[in-house]
Amino acid sequence: MKKIFASIIVITILFSGCSWFSKSEKKDKETKTAVKKKDLPPVENLYRGAMFDFNRGKYDKAIEEFRFIKENYYPNKYAVESEIKIGDAYFLDKEYTLAQVVYDEFRKMHPAHSLAPYAIYQSGVCHLKESSSIDRDQNEVESALNDFEYILTNFPESRYFRMALEKAKEC
């Protein structure tokens, strides 16, 4: 009986020890993450550098920098704007499918953001660009039209309203 009781005590100590270690490891990880975030440079400087590369046509580098900002500074306004800039960099690099995916993701994540109409408009333009080659599926035109009509219906006060109206006529 004493052996069974001693075994139960040993097992209890072992299991509580494992639990204690996992809590300690989790706390260490959280502390390292907090220190890591604290050691990051000011987001304004990073954003300025990313914009410098973006404006010089170094889109791959700018995308990396904008992604870093998005991943490490969210929900800061620069992180949210970086999401759009990633799409813009793909767009200017003529990577329309990738740009369209980024714009659609922004639209889903930030439907009420002031840049949402821009993201929807750009998504529509990406669809049109993808439909311009002969070997492409013409469903892209329909998708573009859906984006433009969405702006016309839901954002009549947006500065993208008139542009969406013109693009919708092209479809």
Q: Give Cβ neighbours of residue 28 (< 8 Å, ≥ 6 apart).
A: none
For the chain, the residue count is 171
Inter-CA distances, 29 with 23, 73, 75, Å: 10, 18, 21
To the nearest 10°, the Cα dihedral for 153, 159, 165, 171? Answer: -100
Mean of pLDDT values over 81-102: 97
pLDDT at site 7: 46
Q: What is the pLDDT of residue 82?
A: 97
**Residue 15 pLDDT greater than 90, yes or no:** no
pLDDT at 121 over 90: yes
* pLDDT higher than 80, residue 5: no
State percent of the chain over pLDDT 70.
Answer: 75
| Contact criterion met (CB below 8 Å) for 47 and 78 | yes
Among residues 85, 91, 90, 88, the alpha carbon closest in space to that of 68 is found at 85
Confidence of residue 122 (pLDDT cuts 50, 70, 90): very high
Amino acid sitting at position 138:
Q
Rg of the chain (C-alpha set): 25
pLDDT at 163 over 60: yes
Residue % of the chain over a pLDDT of 90:
65
Write out pLDDT tens, residues 19-58.
444 455 554 444 444 445 668 889 999 999 999 999 999 9
**Residue 135: predicted pLDDT:** 61
Q: For residues 84 and 107, what is the distance between their CA atoms, to the nearest angstrom? A: 10
Torsion angle in degrees (nearest 10) through CA of 155, 157, 163, 164? 20
Per-residue model confidence as pLDDT tens digits over 135-160: 656 788 899 999 999 999 999 999 99
- Give the other-Cβ count within 10 Å of 47's Cβ: 22
What is the chain's mean pLDDT, rounded? 83
Q: What is the pTM of this model?
A: 0.74
Count Cβ atoms within 10 A of the Cβ of residue 64 and give its class: 0-12 exposed, 13-18 middle, 19 or more buried: middle
Q: How far apart are CA 138 and CA 141, in angstroms?
A: 6
